[in-house]
Chains A and B, each alone.
Chain A
Amino acid sequence: MYIDPHAHMISRTTDDYEAMAAAGIVALIEPAFWVGQPRTFVGTYVDYLSSIVGWERFRAGQFGIRHYCTVGLNSKEANNEELAEGVMEWLPRFALKEGVVAIGEIGYDEQTELEDKYFRAQLALARDLQLPVMVHTPHRDKKRGTSRSMDVCEEMGIDPSWVVIDHNNEETVAETLDRGYWAGFSIYPSTKMGNARMVELLKQYGGDRIIVDSACDWGISDCLGVAKTAQLARQHGIDEDIIHKVTYANALEVYGKSGQIRDSDWLDPPGIDQRTLFEGNSILRGGREPRIETLGAQSGDSLLIE
């Protein structure tokens, strides 16, 4: 069983859901994000948030995958002040919806003043509502942006054990872990993290407070990033306990602080959900073997995400 704690399923097809379910993904978290182009009305942002708390959750349930989300104003769109003000008014309502496990993904893109303003405002919201935080770290000027994100979290009085700093790499991980944060790694081809590199990091750092995700979205990305990384780690002799932590248990622990995600959601779902919103998991019912196992057995190379 795996959890993919960062997957933008609104941009993905049903084939992906099927592949993820077959690969052993039982739950995933869809962070609110930038959909590839800017939204120009508050209303379209509201409908987007409504989609990820409602419709996408239902869609995932049809494939036996439990869907959770984080809500927030992403750093790019924080630069449109009129939009940002409007979204901030609606956010508290969405933050209390079922299955919302954090405020996120929030943080910096170009590290502008407006990004800083709305990052802080959303950290205050997370603090007031007692929700975990998912921090998106910038692609550019990454190392400094990551340090600064943690500085601001602390200035706003957020406990680092409630914060996932995502999109880490070899340069940022040591500081993230040293300061007591959870370190997310997005196995995303070309721009973020490859899974062979990830396996090396697991050898070096072990599994404590490390979280692997796919961050799959509208770009060239792999929705099987978590499952493939687990399998590759297994082939390289990484301890099963470490693999379990970084592909399942750690995400469950930190996002579980919201009270909105627990393993009984997929292991023993409430009757109302089984009747209405969740088709159940064929893997848990002893149906199919996870497809990723056979993929790895055929060719080690096909597991690689570089």
Chain B
Amino acid sequence: MTIAPIDLLSEWILRQAGDKGAWFMSQLHSMSKGASEQELHIFMGLIPRMLGKQDLVLTPADCQQAEQVCTGWRPQGWSMDGGARVAALVAYQGTRPFAETFKDLRRTADAGEMIALYRGLSLYPEPESLAFEVGEGLRSNMRAVFEAIAHNNPYPRDRFDEHRWNHMVLKALFVGSRLSPIMGIDERANPELARILLDYAHERWAAGRAVSPELWRCVGPFIDSLGALDDMQRVLAGTEVERRAAVLALSASSSAQARSLLDTSPEAARLVGEGRVDWNNLLQGEAA
């Protein structure tokens, strides 16, 4: 028998639900058997009251299984109520198109619900119909709602066109969020994004402000075509983290000029070369 995402979610929730598990499973069952949207709304509302908001306790094996049943699904950091709400929505068999059901939930959602709704994007039916809804979430001023879409979520990588992708990455930097949890950040690098980010860096520098060292990750492959070697020289002369970021970015270029710039920072180049510094641990102080 094939395991579906809902099976995994149910299993994880039941482990922690104690005597509320039976309530959850019977509600979930009725969601798949013609429950009305009003019943769905009430179920969603009761979930944190009944199950609580503690973190889902997941083992590495759970996360591997998640990846197997749905490529790119990363449930790490999900909560009981969030996971249960996603399960409710996945189980729900409504009469209207899914995006309309989703829209009504989103319009009246509290912040916790909004985060859960968006974290589950890759698990829902008719994912391509949610483009407008996802746009609304990306425009949110609640950083956690934005990050529910942008971080640890395969939906942007798999579904966004280049324009939306580029603006999501730019907004992540703009609101002080991280790039490394964005899935597909390297494979979806493109010259237009690199140009936008380089402009953004210039704008920040002109105002006497710093830019996140992560920015250079998306610029690296296009350093030569953008003529950004001078910029990289400036970044190399910055803080230790900036120097490492510049080295990582320059390593993505194959030009002789880039390589000779790398030679000016042999220590950082060595750490990168040995794999001790990479984009994912750059800001975590994990490197030697």
Give the interface of A toward B (CB within 8 A).
46-47, 49-50, 53-55, 57-58, 90, 93-94, 96-99, 259, 270-273, 275-277
Contact = CB atoms under 8 A, between A and B. Distances in A.
Given A54-B114, A272-B82, 5 more contacts: A54-B110, A96-B41, A270-B55, A275-B144, A276-B147
Contacts, number: 68
Interface residues of B, number: 25
A90 B108 contact: yes
Q: Specify the main secondary structure of chain A where it touches its partner.
A: helix
Given A93-B108, A98-B113, A55 B142 contact: yes
A188 B281 CA distance: 52
A277 B141 contact: no
8 nearest A-B residue pairs (beta carbon): A96-B45, A276-B144, A272-B79, A97-B110, A53-B110, A270-B53, A58-B142, A98-B110
A96 B46 contact: yes
A94 B108 contact: yes
Most B C-beta atoms less than 10 A away, residue of A53, A57, A272:
A272
A77 B55 CA distance: 41
B53 A272 contact: yes
B288 interface: no
Interface of B: 41-42, 45-46, 48-49, 53-55, 77, 79, 82, 107-115, 141-142, 144, 147
A277 B140 CA distance: 13
A43 B77 CA distance: 34
A63 B147 CA distance: 20
A29 B107 CA distance: 22
A78 to B, nearest CB: 21
A53 B55 CA distance: 22
Contacts of B54: 270-272
A99 B45 contact: no
Contacts of A270: 53-55, 79
A57 B110 contact: yes
A281 B109 CA distance: 25
A271 B112 CA distance: 13
Q: Specify the main secondary structure of chain B where it touches its partner.
A: helix
A57 B82 contact: no
Nearest to B43: A96
B111 A277 contact: yes
Contact of A97 (B45, B79, B82, B142): B45
B148 to A, nearest CB: 8
Contact of B55 (A58, A96, A271, A277): A271
A54 B55 contact: no
A47 B107 CA distance: 8
A52 to B, nearest CB: 10
A97 B42 CA distance: 9
Contacts of A55: 111, 141-142
Given A55-B141, A98-B48, A273 B108 contact: no
Nearest to B46: A96
A54 B27 CA distance: 25
A231 B191 CA distance: 60
Contacts of A58: 111, 142, 144
26 contacts: A47-B107, A50-B107, A50-B108, A54-B109, A54-B111, A54-B142, A55-B141, A57-B110, A93-B41, A94-B108, A96-B41, A96-B45, A96-B46, A97-B113, A98-B113, A270-B54, A271-B55, A271-B79, A272-B55, A272-B77, A276-B115, A276-B147, A277-B111, A277-B112, A277-B142, A277-B144
A9 B45 CA distance: 24
Contact of B111 (A49, A57, A93, A96): A57
A93 B45 contact: yes
A276 B45 CA distance: 19
Contacts of A53: 108, 110-111
Contacts of A94: 108
B76 to A, nearest CB: 11
Contacts of B48: 98
Contacts of B55: 270-272
Contacts of A49: 108
A99 B45 CA distance: 11
Contacts of B110: 53-54, 57, 97-99
A161 to B, nearest CB: 21
Nearest to A69: B110
A46 B111 contact: no
Contact of B49 (A47, A259, A273, A275): A259
A96 B112 contact: no
B178 to A, nearest CB: 12
A55 B113 CA distance: 12
A50 B49 contact: no
Nearest to B141: A55
Contacts of A271: 54-55, 79
A227 to B, nearest CB: 26
A94 B107 CA distance: 11
A301 to B, nearest CB: 39
A276 B108 CA distance: 19
Nearest to B79: A272
Contacts of B141: 55
A42 B93 CA distance: 28
Most B C-beta atoms less than 10 A away, residue of A55, A58, A99, A276:
A276
